[in-house]
Chains A and B, each alone.
Chain A
């Protein structure tokens, strides 16, 4: 035999005759085609991903992607050839240039996402194999990621989830290949897998060890974030007041400050050039000591980005936030984060509305807060000197200036006339119309001209209590500016000149003072159920912001603490992950066994197995080659007393299993008979 084989290999290749395979089947090596339905799933997924990014990618991205998708659908039905090699390279160059022209860079989220759209659209022009379609799908997934990085508001989450579902379905459609089932089974399969994956996702989200910071510096996006700037010029507050965006949210432990105490101190501005106030350029050392008088308020601030690192707190915080180790305090009692974050941050503070300085004002600080630009606002300086001459001391001078502002027909408006280079002169003697920024600016300038150290403080005034979330919501529209003046014996005293011009501003929200036209004004007067719906939605958003978006390493370790772990370190996290992951995997395995093995037997099989199990006591088990009837005969031969019942039963089974389809009634009859029979034997 072996010898023959060796001889045969030496022989010349014989003519293969009559060895054609049986039946006509396609060559087995042919690649599996991608059905048009699967292609459409991927295209829909890609378009969805582009739509989610439409806010921040280049404007040509959506038309490009839709055009490419439409072309692909058209090309799939035509015997068209896809783009050749050189045209493709040309398109790559053109699209890259388009991104460069739109953003002047290829780096960063927006440019990167645009480039991704461009490349995915291009890939569509040459997609033929499964691999190409998978690449398009991968690009769509990255676009979804880019959308998440771009915006993570609560209302977007359902959209993101739908998009993820769509992409998963496309993946299933591609995986199923030619045997692709219809849309509903695919959607169900993908949805089921996503739901099964959710517990693991939550587990990983909560317990996967986080980093304290970034791995590498994230390129900053050049977009205007609404928020307190680090300077105040006529008009800057008015812009903020139009914005309904939240600025900070405050949760109090204990009592809540009264309305007139809700001054949220932000950037402190010292340098004045005649129109604009700016922050101090350098630190001037230790501030004069402060004596705080109770009662204090303890609270946690959740601060939106846009304050340039300034940590906003209720006037006046004591000490530093214990949970923000990068915070420091400057000479003007300003809390600043030395590593400003682009994200929402939160910190704890304790504030005392009543406080006074114990020491004298150091000379450098006094000099800084008395400086006025030369040759600017001469009429105002003249007015200041006049009022100062009449005043007995600093205190009466402050009062005199306030009286002046109250009694000379000044108006509060958000749309004041434009002011010139001598802005204070224009305001005080010509236009007499302005809002908080104008009056704080004017007041501080008059104070300095009268020899009283003063600076402008910007921040927020007021806040809206959310009874669902039990927090105080301060919006950008609550932005405010006031002054602090140094009075000998008392120290820095907050003076809000706007309160004199528009007393309502103090006692109610801005909305009531400015009745004209603002969106928030309308909302306040809406029906109560709308107001409470809005508040509930805000509370949900706040929860989303606090518990989800802001979930970081510290929160993670806090979570460990609240779960009762004493050691809050990575080992515990890894342990929890391992335990939870194992649990999840065994759930999957259990589910897999259910669907693959005996758990999924049909009712007839279950009954038959019950019968076999019962008979195992009486006779050797059924052999693999034995059919049900033969098995019945054999057992009946060994145990004649069973024959009368057993033989009809096995025949009935064969009939039900292999005969024409029988009704449910016959099946139930069989089940009942088997149960009775098994019970008899077991007895």
Chain B
């Protein structure tokens, strides 16, 4: 499965050339594995548009110097040529020797954006500036790595369809220091993301089971969600649960943890949606999972042949969404 979205420019010569070049690069570089350190043989470099304009400018300067037989003008022109070439080397050097220490694709919802977490390490003695990393056709992410240090960069990718999605190619590029040249490399890491069905709200949630029905008023008084305790913030916690007031008072970033009333649970069953097409049904189930999670309710998932026992919390959410993502009917 290709990771690049079928774009409108598919039949333009430039896009075709790009595709042919990247296919060629893929075949000569082979599969990559993190950690890897970028070497010259896989770093490509070309002048940017500004670089081409600068070349034209230098050529005009050269003609002027030659025609006026003016030594100083010629020396100036040659000095600038050397300067540009030095910048070419610096541009190449901003990638050369950069280590990609880790790469991980976070799950995402179909048609949305997922995140890739890339770890970089700069063993060199110079700050690597103006680096950018780009996955698929999504806008790039700029970053820089200080000397002798590591950094974690998250870059967005376009999630396509439910299921497993490979991110075949990453591009890391740099136009440091002057923007006259752009060096880049393609990474073909074994990155695979699990794509959840895009949530879709078509039906109300099934009623909770295992508890006597309460009136709406009662429910509102007691609250479905019972505040239990605060725990420290972890990557991935929903922002609406963050205890901002406590944070504003100077406390560390904390997340409110809720407990649903014991025993109350909803069973989210695929069979209840048998009249919908499969993908829409799965999308509806995903929406229900998110909704239950948002309200802190306990829920179970029942796909034909695959069931997730009742529970709630991040692990439950992940289990359910993974089951939805991988469900094959």
Contacts and interface: CB of A to CB of B under 8 A. Distances in A.
Contacts of B75: 201, 205
A201 B79 contact: yes
A347 interface: no
A5 B161 contact: yes
Contact of A600 (B65, B123, B163): B123
A404 interface: no
B137 to A, nearest CB: 12
Interface string A560-600: 00000000000000000000000011001101110111101
B144 interface: yes
A189 B87 CA distance: 10
Interface string B70-111: 111111111111110111011011001100000000001111
Interface in A162-186: 164, 168, 171-172, 174-177, 179
Interface in A193-214: 193-194, 196-202, 204-205, 208, 210-211, 213-214
Interface residues of A, number: 85
A145 B111 contact: no
Nearest to A29: B139
A19 B156 CA distance: 12
B200 A15 contact: yes
Interface centre among A148, A168, A551 (most CB of B within 10 A): A148
Interface residues of B, number: 85
A164 B124 contact: no
Contacts of A597: 96-97, 123-124
B154 interface: yes
A160 B76 contact: yes
Given A175-B175, A194-B79, A589-B89, A218 B96 contact: no
Given A7-B278, A134-B50, A142-B57, A179 B144 contact: yes
Contact of A17 (B96, B115, B147, B287): B287
Contact of A131 (B50, B92, B141): B50
B112 A205 contact: no
A15 B161 contact: no
B197 to A, nearest CB: 8
Contact of B198 (A14, A148, A550, A605): A14
Interface in B148-162: 148, 154, 156, 161-162
A193 B86 contact: yes
A1 to B, nearest CB: 6
A534 interface: no
Contact of B78 (A134, A205, A343, A600): A205
Contacts of A218: 67-68
B179 A9 contact: no
Given A1-B328, A201-B82, A600-B123, A148 B73 contact: yes
Given A11-B277, A21-B113, A592 B66 contact: no
Interface in B192-237: 197-201, 235-236
Interface string A597-610: 11011100100000
A54 interface: no
A138 interface: yes
A152 interface: yes
Contacts of A149: 64-65, 68, 70, 73
A596 B82 contact: no
B85 A588 contact: yes
Given A141-B80, A145-B76, A205-B74, A14 B148 contact: no
B179 A198 contact: no
B76 A164 contact: yes
Interface in B277-292: 277-280, 283, 287, 290
A142 B61 contact: yes
B179 A174 contact: yes
B130 interface: yes
Nearest to B132: A28
Interface string B306-329: 000000000000000000000011
A22 interface: yes
A32 interface: yes
Nearest to A5: B161
Contacts of A148: 65, 70, 72-73, 76
Interface in A1-57: 1, 4-5, 7-9, 11, 13-19, 21-23, 27-29, 32
B255 interface: no
A602 to B, nearest CB: 6
A595 B147 CA distance: 10
B139 A14 contact: no
Nearest to A596: B97
A549 interface: yes
B125 A592 contact: no
B66 A210 contact: yes
A597 B39 CA distance: 10
B20 to A, nearest CB: 26
Interface centre among B82, B139, B179 (most CB of A within 10 A): B82
Given A175-B179, A179-B129, A32 B142 contact: yes
B140 interface: yes
A141 B130 CA distance: 24
A86 interface: no
A548 interface: yes
B148 A193 contact: no
B15 to A, nearest CB: 19
A22 B130 contact: no
A70 interface: no
B177 interface: yes
Contacts of A284: none
A14 B124 contact: no
A197 B154 contact: no
B246 to A, nearest CB: 19
A211 B62 CA distance: 12
B177 A189 contact: yes
Contacts of B111: 13-14, 16
B295 to A, nearest CB: 13
A32 B164 CA distance: 34
Nearest to B278: A7
A196 B86 contact: yes
Given A201-B75, A597-B123, A16 B198 contact: yes
A11 B110 CA distance: 12
A218 B162 CA distance: 70
B46 interface: no
Contacts of B1: 5
B178 A144 contact: no
A4 B140 CA distance: 30
Given A17-B201, A130-B179, A131-B50, A200 B81 contact: yes
Contacts of A172: 177-178
Contacts of B191: none
A662 interface: no
B138 interface: yes
Q: Which of B61, B90, B110, B329 has the most CB of A within 10 A?
A: B90
Contacts of B70: 148-149, 152
Contacts of B163: 1, 4-5
A215 interface: yes
Closest 5 CB pairs of A and B: A197-B82, A596-B97, A19-B112, A200-B82, A600-B125
Given A28-B142, A200-B85, 10 more contacts: A14-B110, A15-B201, A17-B199, A145-B76, A175-B178, A208-B78, A213-B69, A551-B71, A596-B123, A600-B124
29 contacts: A4-B279, A4-B329, A5-B162, A7-B279, A8-B110, A8-B161, A15-B198, A21-B113, A21-B115, A28-B142, A138-B54, A141-B57, A142-B61, A144-B76, A148-B72, A148-B76, A152-B72, A176-B176, A177-B130, A193-B177, A196-B86, A205-B71, A588-B86, A591-B89, A595-B124, A600-B125, A600-B126, A602-B148, A605-B123
Interface of B: 1, 35, 50, 53-54, 57, 61, 63-83, 85-87, 89-90, 92-93, 96-97, 108-113, 115, 123-126, 129-130, 138-142, 144, 147-148, 154, 156, 161-164, 175-179, 197-201, 235-236, 277-280, 283, 287, 290, 328-329
